[in-house]
Amino acid sequence: GHIGRENYTWIENTFSVNSFKVFALHHHLIPIPKTGRGNNVLVDAGDVLELLDRSGVNLVLCGHWHIPWVWRLNDMLVISAGTVCSSKVRGKISQCYNLIEVDAPESDCKRWHLQVYRVFFRGEKEKVVDNII
């Protein structure tokens, strides 16, 4: 897949506001280790990552591979979701979803406190991110 250059201006304009910014897409922008699927990222992933970073996007959500993973790039987190209802899980990963909590620890809302938890099938919760970005 791809986002396409024809959409880059729209992304820049949409994310020009000064607030917490979330960009969600189905496909991945960054490969996930130990999946053997390093080539299954967007064709224009590098351009899109640079655009999102330059636009001040705080959080990128994706999940096509059903593997939970988190990458931090500058002040942006790229979070891949697992799966709750599909049995298509890979390796030793069990069914889960991400619970994301965002707070503004400063009154000017220029920095954000993000906590990300993986919540598993039986209700267990694992904190995977606790960052100020």
Task: Check: CB of residue 44 under 8 Å from CB of residue 25.
Answer: no
How confident is the model at residue 85, as a pLDDT?
A: 82
- Total domains in the chain come to 1
What are the pLDDT digits (tens) for 62-102?
Answer: 988 788 999 999 999 999 998 888 777 666 778 899 999 99
Range of the domain at 78: 5-132
Question: Looking at the predicted structure, is the pLDDT value of residue 18 above 90?
Answer: no
CATH number at residue 18: 3.60.21.10
Give the three-class secondary structure for 6: helix
Residues 114, 48: Cα–Cα separation, whole Å: 22
